[in-house]
Structures are given as structure tokens and as C-alpha cells.
């Protein structure tokens, strides 16, 4: 339910990170997934050493948090300091760190892992943090109350069900922005196709309108044994009607 980590890069480190991520994919139940992220949280930021995430070298070259933040920023025309952002699957706060640099100041975070939320709390970026099993229970927020809703790193096979997209839309103010990311690699193609279909259906229902869909070739380094080099990904941005 959270994004992946940033570390000082070398081949041994990449192999160890790869092993960690692949072990996460073996978790099948919600309890197993949360347990995995709770265990990972203890070393997450120690591995990250995120002091300035704009300059640190990422082992996975994981760009989704910065790409999502930049996409939101490029379309946002209201007062950023007054905007309230809902960061879903916030993890330790990578997206909020990027958005803070772009002038956003008010963040509410939601994640399934209490340990990850603890790390996010230590960042000092969030005014409120809530634990929630995404896709299994409603988002613990007031509908229609956020200027921006963002989810990065969680919309993928075996993580959060595509139905969460409707919850994201419901949480957003009319005229507000919803930003989502997913991967386009082989293991996620079926999930992405189902997600694309749901997003189009919601547009046909006039719940929102699409502002931007950006395909990114070098999304992150591949960790699957079936793939080499880099995998691709997508940033979606919608405006609630």
C-alpha cells in the first residue's frame, strides 16, 4: 500500500531491495501485507536516508512520487497554501515531501500499516493520519472535503482493488483533483486494463473529467525475474465534476 524505497545505489543493495519487494508479492491476505509493511517500516527510512529526496539516488529509480506531485502542480491554479491534500497509501510520506516543496502545506494521510503511519507522523508533514485497510473499509474521511486526493504506489495487482477509485472521487471537492499512478509492466497489465476501464466508466457517468494521462517509459527498475532494465508506468489526473 506504500511506495518503494530510495537508498544509496549499488548492485548488492539493489539485489537486497529486489528480494524484499518480491517477498511482499508473496503476501496474499490483507493481514500478511500489513504485517510485511509493519516489519519493513523499521528499516524503511534507515534504508532510504531521505534527507533530500530530490537529490538522493534511488536504487529503484522510483519516480512515481515526484511525477505525481509535478502533475498535480502543473494543473493546480488555486492557493496551494490553503489546499487540503488527502494522501492515500501515504507510507512514510514520500508524496507529501515532494508536494511540500511545491507549496502545498496541509496533508491528511491514510495507510494500512500503523508502523508506516508512525514514520509519516515523525516527518511532521501531516496534520492528521488515519489507519485504514484500503478497499476493505471506507476511507475514514469526510466525503467531498479535499482539494487534492492522491494515491501513489498502491494501485497494482495484489495491492488495492480498483474500486478504491470511486472512494477517491467521493472524498474530493467538486472541482478538486484526483491523481493516481499504476505500473504498466507485464505482471500488472490485467490490473491496469481493469483500472482503465473503471476510470473511463466513471468519466462516462460524469463523476469526473480527465485532465492528463502520462505514460512514463522509465518508471522504475524491474524487479521481476521476467523483466530486465526498466518498467513503464502511468500518471492519471482527473477533475471531479
Predicted confidence band of residue 34 (pLDDT cuts 50, 70, 90): low
Q: Give the pLDDT score at 50.
A: 38
Where is pLDDT greater, at 149 or 9?
A: 149
- In this prediction, residues 14-43 reach a mean pLDDT of 59
What residue spans define the domains of the chain? 11-240
Residue 187 has pLDDT above 80, yes or no: yes
| pLDDT winner (highest mean) among 14-23, 54-63, 137-146 | 137-146
More confident residue, 220 or 51: 220
Q: Measured between alpha carbons, how far is residue 238 from residues 8, 39, 41, 211 in Å?
A: 34, 34, 31, 5
- Identify the pLDDT of residue 20: 58
Q: Could you give the count of Cα atoms lying within 13 Å of 184 in the half-sphere of its Cβ?
A: 16
d(CA 100, CA 116): 19
Per-residue pLDDT band at 135 (split at 50, 70, 90): confident
- Per-residue model confidence as pLDDT tens digits over 158-172: 889 999 999 999 999
pLDDT band of 214, cuts 50, 70, 90: very high
Three-state SS string over 188-202 comes to HHHHHHHHHHHHHHH
In the three-class reduction of DSSP (H, G, I as helix; E, B as strand; rest coil), residue 11 is classed as helix
Beta pairing partners, 128: 108
Residue 136: the pLDDT is 87
Task: Find the mean pLDDT for residues 137-153.
Answer: 96
Nearest of 189, 192, 238, 230 to residue 63 by alpha carbon: 230
Whether the pLDDT of residue 2 is over 70: the answer is: no
pLDDT at 184 over 70: yes
Comparing 48 with 118, which gets the higher pLDDT? 118
CATH class assigned to 11-240 = alpha beta
> What local confidence, expressed as pLDDT, does residue 61 receive?
75
User: Quick one: average pLDDT of 9-15?
Assistant: 52
Whether 37 has a pLDDT exceeding 70, the answer reads no
Task: State mean pLDDT over 145-158.
Answer: 95
Is the Cβ–Cβ distance between 167 and 140 less than 8 Å?
A: no
Chain mean pLDDT for the chain: 84
3-state secondary structure of 29: coil
> Which of 121, 126, 88, 123 lies closest to 105 in space, CA to CA?
126
pLDDT of residue 46: 43
Contact 221, 230 (CB under 8 A): yes
Strand residues in 31-120 grouped as ranges (E): 84-88, 106-111
Give the DSSP H or E segment for 48: helix 30-48
| Residue 152: predicted pLDDT | 96
Amino acid at each position: 500500500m506504500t511506495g518503494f524505497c530510495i537508498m544509496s545505489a549499488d548492485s548488492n543493495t539493489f539485489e537486497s531491495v529486489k528480494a524484499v519487494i518480491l517477498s511482499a508479492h508473496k503476501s496474499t491476505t490483507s493481514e500478511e501485507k500489513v504485517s510485511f509493511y509493519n516489519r519493513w517500516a523499521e528499516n524503511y527510512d534507515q534504508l532510504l536516508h531521505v534527507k533530500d529526496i530530490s537529490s538522493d539516488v534511488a536504487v529503484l529509480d522510483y519516480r512515481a512520487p515526484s511525477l505525481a506531485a509535478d502533475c498535480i502542480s502543473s494543473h493546480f491554479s488555486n492557493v496551494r497554501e490553503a489546499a487540503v491534500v488527502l494522501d492515500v497509501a501515504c507510507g512514510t510520506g514520500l508524496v507529501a515531501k515532494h508536494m511540500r516543496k511545491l507549496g502545498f502545506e496541509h496533508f491528511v494521510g491514510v495507510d494500512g500499516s500503523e508502523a508506516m503511519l508512525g514514520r509519516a507522523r515523525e516527518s511532521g508533514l501531516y496534520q492528521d493520519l488515519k489507519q485504514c485497510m484500503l478497499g476493505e473499509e471506507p476511507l475514514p474521511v469526510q466525503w467531498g472535503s479535499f482539494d487534492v486526493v492522491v494515491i501513489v504506489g498502491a494501485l497494482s495487482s495484489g495491492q488495492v482493488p480498483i474500486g478504491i477509485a470511486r472512494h477517491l472521487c467521493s472524498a474530493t471537492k467538486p472541482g478538486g483533483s484526483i491523481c493516481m499512478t499504476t505500473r504498466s509492466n507485464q505482471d500488472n497489465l490485467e490490473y491496469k486494463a481493469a483500472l482503465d476501464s473503471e476510470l473511463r466508466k466513471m468519466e462516462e457517468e460524469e463523476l469526473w473529467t480527465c485532465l492528463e494521462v502520462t505514460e512514463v517509459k522509465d518508471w522504475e527498475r524491474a524487479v521481476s525475474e521476467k523483466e530486465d532494465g526498466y518498467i513503464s508506468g502511468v500518471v492519471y489526473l482527473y477533475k471531479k465534476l
